[in-house]
Structure 1
């Protein structure tokens, strides 16, 4: 999937597959629920996703922070719900 936000960039590429999966799951849950979701991966990597307002057409803005080695990496994007119920991320 197109990960969007921080996950779509160099920080996301540096994460382990399990960490990316944890972050992705939190992102989807936050977009579905409209509520903040935190996650914790291995090796001290963790983060949270803060959903924003719905922007219309089934889309919702979000911000995301991933901490790697104690340093915050912030990003944002927009997720749009597709007809099949999946989310497509854009930056």
Structure 2
């Protein structure tokens, strides 16, 4: 069963461009997966049901984020980060950018699915990122906005 996480991979890829600053990849994946899962879970239910969905989403997201973090090495994350930046900057909505690490065999696809301007006037894009580790696919969803320096910041 595949879990769709809000920004799990996008955040972990962007955050791990300098892995030493953010700690181990498992820790980063766990924390960001938990946040992404909580955001995803909060979209369901109301009242105490929404709280339960948020908690469940956080737990599932933390677990899956940890597993993805364990699976991707620093080189994988650099390939994915470059592809993510290219996809967000240059790729038309609906088209895919692929990345591949020939040394690990891990790969992925990034597809912008919507482009819009935020209320603060920033240009933003929603995207999907599928990562293939050992033949297994993990799907993630993210949103990123262009920063003043031209790079893209994942916002959830």
* 1:34 equivalent in alignment to 2:34: no
2:82 to 14, 25, 29: 25
Match of 2:109 in 1: 48
* 1:65 equivalent in alignment to 2:68: no
| Count of residues in Structure 1 that have an aligned counterpart in Structure 2 | 88
* Separation in structure 2 between the aligned mates of residue 58 and residue 39 of structure 1, nearest angstrom: 24
Stretch deviating more after TM superposition (10-19 or 33-42): 10-19
* Separation in structure 1 between the aligned mates of residue 104 and residue 71 of structure 2, nearest angstrom: 12
- Higher normalized helix content (fraction of residues): 2
Gaps of 5+ in 2: 1-6, 13-28, 30-64
Does the aligned pair in 2 maintain the 1:5–1:63 contact within 8 Å? Answer: no
Q: Secondary structure at the match of 1:74?
A: strand
Greater relative CO, 1 or 2 (CA 8 Å, sep 6+): 1
Which consecutive segments of 4 or more residues in structure 1 shift more than 6 A? Answer: none
User: How does the TM-score come out when normalised to structure 1?
Assistant: 0.86
* Separation in structure 1 between the aligned mates of residue 99 and residue 73 of structure 2, nearest angstrom: 14
Gaps of 5+ in 1: none
